[in-house]
Amino acid sequence: MSAKQHVQNLLDFIDASPSPWHVISTIETQLAEQTPSWQRLDETAKWTLQPGGRYYVVRDDSSIVLFIQGQKPLAETGFNIIGAHTDSPGLRIKPNAASSEDGLLRLGVEIYGGPILATFTDRDLSLAGRIAYKNDQDRIVCKLIKFDQPLLRLPNLAIHMNRTVNEDGLKLQKQTELPLILSASAEQQLPQEYFSALLQQQAGIAAARILSWDLAVYDTQKGAFWGPDSEFYAHSRLDNLASCHAALQALLDPAALPPDNTLVCAFFDHEEIGSESNKGADGSFLPDVLQRIALASTTDSEDYARALAKSFMISADMAHAYQPNFPNAYDPGHKVIVNKGPVIKVNANHRYSSESLSAAMFADWCEQAGAPYQTYSHRCDLPCGSTIGPITSAKLGIRSIDVGNPLWAMHSIRESAGVLDHDYMISVMKRFFSAPGATRSG
Ligand code: CO
């Protein structure tokens, strides 16, 4: 498959996944088309696993662990894990969101994670998420909801009323200046009733049965290639759906079958808000699943610890691509360039989990895959971001590396990246998954 086709598939994947809850349903749809088939495991049931079997577990609709059980004993091979996250920074609708004033109905929002707020102005926004309701059998269940048409907007102030915007930057007061305009025609109804009716209509659930919901704001603009040779692409949520998509392509690669090692993809919600939740990387989800894989496949209780000691995790999240208009934002020795390959992220204070040996192993897999690679270190006078890498490797005690593809405008509603890099990343991840004994080192 060409590099451009891989990216087209990524753009389609993101179009189908406007919220972290939709990411899981998009992945499930792809798994349903695969042979051999994938089996969903229920955390409340007892698990029976077969060597070579393909399984996945979902926790609370927005985190997922997928694995292919290795042919060889777990204690001999360990787990080959790729971790990434399903959530992206943005705006979420507050519970009692609707208010009406001066003939305009607005929805109050809460800021989720660290978006570049100014990029949310003047976009064709809409809503996606999940509705919790009581069904005909009196059970409380969730259903995904997505509005396709542009539904909401955050119009900018005209420059005539904000004369210094180009000198001072666009600053939005977070409580008073972020509510989104929804409607000018809700005069006859109470605002909250109007909004409930809208949800009821879209979800096909009677308003009286709707008990709660999670709703994220998304941009309805589709992904696009750009540049004279379409060498770049742009979309929302590339951080971090590009990494989820690359890892999934590697896991679904038929050449990887049947694997010796147990191959795992772990995609977590809540990375952008610190990972501390029942389904976040700092929660019990991945340790629970790995331990249960071990319990289901061996009777020796020491084997789980032996398997972890043999394991390796690639923590994949996006990296800051060099933007030549802002040279002072970067360390001059660590400019990572779009379309020049995956980035190994290094931080002495362990904001990234990479160390010399894991970095060397990843560099070696890049060379074996025929992919170039680059190394990133943040400026010393700027605080560095972090990832699920340090958290997960600390919890499990396994060797880990932080990598990611170069990305412009991280946490903008419209991020962009290089077409070649996505293809390179898929090749390296395939190499990691197919390398027998890949994790054995040190
Ligand atoms: Co990220």
Q: Kindly give the confidence (pLDDT) of every residue in the chain, 442 residues in length, as a single tens digit, with 9 standing for 90 and above.
A: 999 999 999 999 999 999 999 999 999 999 999 988 999 999 999 999 999 999 999 999 999 999 999 999 999 999 999 999 999 999 999 999 999 999 999 999 999 999 999 999 999 999 999 999 999 999 999 999 999 999 999 999 999 999 999 999 999 999 999 999 999 876 677 899 999 999 999 999 998 899 999 999 999 999 999 999 999 999 999 999 999 999 999 999 877 678 899 999 999 999 999 999 999 999 999 999 999 999 998 778 899 999 999 999 999 999 999 999 999 999 999 999 999 999 999 999 999 999 999 999 999 999 999 999 999 999 999 998 889 999 999 999 999 999 999 999 999 999 999 999 999 999 999 999 987 655 545 4
153 three-state secondary structure: strand
Rounded to the nearest 5°, which phi and psi values hold at 408? -90, 145
Q: Which residues lie below 8 Å from residue 252, measured CB to CB, with a gap of 6+? A: 30, 34
> What is the predicted pLDDT for the residue at 442?
47
In a domain, 227, yes or no: no
* Ligand 1 midpoint to CA 239 (Å): 5
> Where do we find the tokens 């259903």?
143
In a domain, 106, yes or no: yes
Whether residue 106 sits in one domain with residue 70: no
The residues pairing with 111 across neighbouring beta strands, listed in sequence order, are 91
Query: Contact 22/126 with Cβ under 8 angstroms?
Result: no
> What is the predicted pLDDT for the residue at 300?
86
Q: What distance in Å separates the CA atoms of residue 302 and residue 304, rounded to the nearest whole number?
A: 6
> What is the predicted pLDDT for the residue at 438?
53
Whether residue 370 sits in one domain with residue 352: yes
* Ligand 1 midpoint to CA 42 (Å): 28
Query: Contact 257/52 with Cβ under 8 angstroms?
Result: yes
Query: Contact 428/365 with Cβ under 8 angstroms?
Result: yes
388 CB burial (10 A radius; 0-12, 13-18, 19+): buried
For 160, how many CA atoms within 13 A lie in the half-sphere containing its CB? 0
* Ligand 1 midpoint to CA 211 (Å): 31
Structure tokens, 249:
């392509």
* Ligand 1 midpoint to CA 85 (Å): 7
* Ligand 1 midpoint to CA 170 (Å): 24
Whether residue 15 sits in one domain with residue 99: no
Q: What distance in Å separates the CA atoms of residue 226 and residue 418, rounded to the nearest whole number?
A: 10
Query: Contact 234/11 with Cβ under 8 angstroms?
Result: no
Rounded to the nearest 5°, which phi and psi values hold at 246? -60, -45
* Ligand 1 midpoint to CA 260 (Å): 30
* Ligand 1 midpoint to CA 353 (Å): 14
Q: What distance in Å separates the CA atoms of residue 419 and residue 429, rounded to the nearest whole number?
A: 16
Query: Contact 400/312 with Cβ under 8 angstroms?
Result: yes
200 three-state secondary structure: helix
Buried b (16+ CB within 10 A) or exposed e, 158-193: eeeeeeeeeeeeeebeeeeebbbebbeebeebebee
How does DSSP assign 156-190, residue by residue? Answer: PPPGGG-TTHHHH-----TTTS-PEEEES--TTS-
* Ligand 1 midpoint to CA 387 (Å): 7
Q: Which residues lie below 8 Å from residue 180, measured CB to CB, with a gap of 6+? A: 91, 106, 107, 109, 125, 152, 153, 154, 217
* Ligand 1 midpoint to CA 318 (Å): 6
> What is the predicted pLDDT for the residue at 424?
98
In a domain, 226, yes or no: no
Q: What distance in Å separates the CA atoms of residue 416 and residue 11, rounded to the nearest whole number?
A: 11
* Ligand 1 midpoint to CA 157 (Å): 30
* Ligand 1 midpoint to CA 175 (Å): 25
Query: Contact 215/129 with Cβ under 8 angstroms?
Result: yes
How would you classify the pairing of strands 232-235 and 140-146? unpaired
The residues pairing with 62 across neighbouring beta strands, listed in sequence order, are none
Whether residue 388 sits in one domain with residue 373: yes
* Ligand 1 midpoint to CA 39 (Å): 28
* Ligand 1 midpoint to CA 282 (Å): 15
* Ligand 1 midpoint to CA 419 (Å): 18
Longest distance between any two alpha carbons in the chain, whole Å: 73
Whether residue 300 sits in one domain with residue 413: yes
| Domain end point (choices 219, 248, 266) | 219
* Ligand 1 midpoint to CA 386 (Å): 8
In a domain, 50, yes or no: yes
* Ligand 1 midpoint to CA 237 (Å): 9
How would you classify the pairing of strands 374-376 and 343-345? parallel
* Ligand 1 midpoint to CA 315 (Å): 10
Which range of residues forms the domain containing residue 155?
A: 90-219
Whether residue 136 sits in one domain with residue 65: no
Could you tell me the sign of the dihedral formed by the alpha carbons of 54, 270, 395, 42, in that order?
Answer: negative
* Ligand 1 midpoint to CA 238 (Å): 9
Q: What distance in Å separates the CA atoms of residue 93 and residue 53, rounded to the nearest whole number?
A: 40
CATH of the domain at 27: 3.40.630.10
CATH of the domain at 138: 2.30.250.10
Q: How many structural domains does the chain have? A: 2
In a domain, 64, yes or no: yes
Q: How long is the chain? A: 442
